[in-house]
Amino acid sequence: MDEFKNNNSGRRDDNDQVESDKTTRQNDSNGSSYYYSYGPFSSVQSDGQRKDGKLVEKDVEITPPQAVRPLPSSYHRAGAEQQQDGSGRNGGNWQFKQNKPKSQVKTIFLSFLAGMLVITVLMYTADRTNMFTPETALTSAVAESGETTNSGTTSQSPNAVPAVMPSGTADVQSVVAKAGPAVVKIETLAKQSSSSGRQSSPYYNDPLYQYFFGNQYGDSGNSGNNGSSNENEGSNSGQLTPLGIGSGFIFDKTGYILTNNHVVEGANVVQVTVEGTNKPYEAKVLGKNADLDLAVLKIEGKDNFPTVTLGNSENAKVGEWMVAIGNPEGFEHSVTAGVLSAKERTITINSESTGKPTQYKHLIQTDASINPGNSGGPLLNLQGQVIGMNVAVSADAQGIGFAIPSNTILEVVDKLKNNQPIPKEPVPFIGASLLNLSPEVAKELGTTLTEGSVVRDIIYKSPAYQADLRPYDVIIGANGTPYSTSQELIDFIQKQKVGTALTLNIERAGQKKDVQLKVGNKNDFSSTLQQ
C-alpha cells in the first residue's frame, strides 16, 4: 500500500509540473520572459526575468532529433508483456539474441568432397577416351577390337604393342602346363681326383657362372691344405662328388634331351630328374659342342616322355613375351616371365675347362630372370614353343639374360644326336697380324704416311702368304677405301664372306701398289693370329 501511495504521489507531482509548464509557455507567448524549462529541470539566462516571483522562460526553438533506426529482428523483448517504468515510459528491458555462425569445418568438408567428385569424373573420362594420347588410343582400340578382313578373320594392328601380357596370367599358366613336364633337372657328379678337390660349389664347373658372378669357390678347396691335399685325393680316389646343377628339356619322346655343354662338361655321371618322378635317370651324353655350348643326352625307361617343340626364333619379335623354366639355385621348375629385349647379341667368355675364350654369337637377350641352374632350360613363347636355350645372365645389370636361338639348335641337333662332328662357322681372315702405323714406326720405315696398318707377321700358306704380302708392308686401304687403323681394316675383312676377292692398297719401300687375294677361313689354320 505504501508503494501504491508513493506512486500516486509521484503522479500528482508530475501533474503539477505539467500545469507549471503550461503556465510557463503561456508567459513565454507574451514575450515577457527568457526563461525556459524542460522537464523537472530549468535554467536561468543572464537576461532572464521573474514574473510574480517566478522565472519566466523565453521560447526556444528546438531541433527535433533524427529518426531512430528500427531495431533488427534479432532484438526481442524479454517477456511476453511490455513493462513500464515509474515515469510512464516503456521499460528498456531488451535482450540481444546473437546469431550462431555456421560451421566452417562442415563447409570446407563438403567443398572438398565436391572437388574430389569432379576430379574423379574428369580423370575417368580422360582415361576412357585417352584425350591426351589420341594416337595411342586409336592404336589400342584397334589392337583390342581387331580389324575384320574380307575373309572374315580378325587381325590386330602390327603397330599395337600391348603394355601388359595379353589375356593376363592365364597364358603363362597354359605355357607352364604344356611345356613344364618336359623340363628336367640335371645333376652332374665327378670323381674327386679329376676335380682336384674343388667341388665345394655345385656351380664350380659352370664357366658362365664364374664369368658373371666370379670364381667365388674355385680355389677355396685347396686353400690351407698345403701338401695334405694330394694325400686326401689319393685316399678318396674314385669317390663321386657333386659337380654341378643345370636344366634341360626333352625334345624327343624316346628320351632325347637338350642342354648346355658346360652343364655336363667334366662329368663322370649325369643324372636327370623328370617332373613327377622321385628317382633320377642316369643319362648318356651322345654328342656335345663347346663352340656352340650345346649337348644332347639320352635317358632310357619308357618311350613316351613328355616333350616340347622347337620353334622358329627368326619369327620372334623384340617386345614379345617369353617364359623361362628351369632349376635356379636348385629350386626345381621355377617359372619367370619377361620380354624378348634384343636379338643378335655377342658375348665372349673364358672357359675354365678349356682355358680358351668362347664366343657366343646370335644370342637372344631377355629380361626374364635367369640364374645359375637355369642353364640349359628352355625360353618359350606364349604358344609353348622353345625359342631359345637359357645360357647366361649378367650380374652387373638388372634384367639382362641370354639364350641360344632355337634356329641355331635346329641346324646341329641331328649331328649331336648321332655324335657327328659339327663344322665350325667360317671365320673370315687373310692370315696376317697387323699393328697401327704410329709416328715412331713411320719414322723407322722411312714413310711419309701417317695412317694405315703395318704387316707384322704372315701365316704360312695363308691368303696373305699366297698373295705375296710381306712384313713391313703398310696397308693403306682395301678396294680403294682408306682404313686409318688396323681395327677398322680387321672389321672390314670379318664382314666379308670366305672366298671373296679383295684388293689391298699398300705401300712397300716408298712405292704404292695393289695386292690381290681371296678371303680365307681361319678354322683351316691352326695359328692363333688375329688376321
CATH number at residue 438: 2.30.42.10
Average pLDDT over residues 491-508: 92
Has residue 153 been placed in a domain?
A: no
Same domain for 203 and 285?
yes
Give residue for cell 604344356.
178
Classify residue 146: in a domain, yes or no. Answer: no
Active site residues: 262, 293, 375
Give 90's pLDDT tier (boundaries 50, 70, 90). Answer: very low
Is the model's pLDDT at 246 over the cut of 70?
Answer: yes
**Grid-cell match 618311350, residue found:** 303
Using the 3D structure, point to which of 246, 270, 298 is the last residue of a domain.
298
Cβ contact 372:390 at 8 Å: no
Cβ contacts of residue 71 below 8 Å, gap of 6+? 94
Please indicate, yes or no, if residue 82 is contained in any of the structural domains: no
What confidence category does residue 206 fall into, taking pLDDT thresholds of 50, 70 and 90? low
Judgement on whether residues 393 and 323 belong to the same structural domain of the protein: yes
Instruction: Classify residue 496 by its DSSP letter.
Output: S
* Residue 242 counted as domain residue: yes
* 288 bridge partner residues: 295
Give residue for cell 719414322: 443
Domain co-membership, 263 together with 348: no
Integer Cα distance of 395 and 46 in angstroms: 119
Q: What is the mean pLDDT of the chain?
A: 74
* pLDDT value at 358 more than 60: yes
Q: How confident is the model at residue 240 (pLDDT cuts 50, 70, 90)?
A: confident
Same-domain pairing of 412 and 476: no
Strand 183-191 relative to strand 269-274, pairing: antiparallel
Q: Do 286 and 190 belong together in one domain?
A: yes
- Ranges assigned E (strand) in 119-276: 147-148, 154-155, 183-191, 240-252, 256-259, 269-274
The CATH number given to whatever domain includes residue 257 is: 2.40.10.10
| Nearest one of 340, 186, 198, 191 to 275, comparing CA atoms | 186
Of 275, 298, 321, which closes a domain?
A: 298
On whether residue 38 sits in a domain, the answer given is yes
Choice between 31 and 261, residue whose per-residue pLDDT is larger: 261
Q: Both 412 and 479 in a single domain?
A: no
pLDDT value at position 128? 76
Establish if 68 belongs to a structural domain.
no
State whether 320 and 288 are in the same domain. Answer: no
Task: Return the C-alpha cell found at 231.
Answer: 694325400
Domain boundary among 417, 452, 483: 417
Residues composing the chain: 531
What integer pLDDT is reported at residue 71 of this predicted model?
53
Residue 260 lies in a domain: yes
User: Per-residue confidence at 64, pLDDT binned at 50, 70, 90?
Assistant: low
Residues 290 and 191 grouped into a single domain: yes
Residues 31, 113 within the same domain: no
Give exposure, 351-364, as e/b (b: 16+ Cβ within 10 Å).
bbeeeeebebeebb
Q: How many domains does the chain have?
A: 5
Q: 285 and 361 share a domain? A: no
- Mean per-residue pLDDT for 322-327? 94
Q: What are the φ/ψ torsions at residue 223 (nearest 5 degrees)?
A: -70, 130
Q: Are 358 and 349 in contact (CB under 8 A)?
A: yes
DSSP 504-531: EEEEETTEEEEEEEE-EEGGG-------
User: Residue 287 is inside which H or E element, if any?
Assistant: strand 281-289
Q: Would residue 21 count as lying in a domain?
A: yes
321 and 272 together in one domain: no
Cell numbers found for residue 439? 709416328
Q: In terms of domains, do 384 and 445 share one?
A: no
Mean pLDDT of 80-92: 45
pLDDT number for residue 163: 46
**457 contacts 530 by C-beta, under 8 angstroms:** no
10 Å Cβ neighbour count for 424? 13
Q: Which domain holds residue 248?
A: 180-222+232-298
Cα 373 to Cα 184, 188, 434: the distances in Å are 11, 12, 42
- Mean pLDDT of the 58-80 span: 53
Residue 260 has pLDDT above 90, yes or no: yes
**Spatial separation of the C-alpha atoms in residues 493 and 188, rounded to whole Å:** 42
Q: State the cell numbers at 467.
A: 698373295
**Residue 159, φ and ψ in degrees, nearest 5:** -85, -10
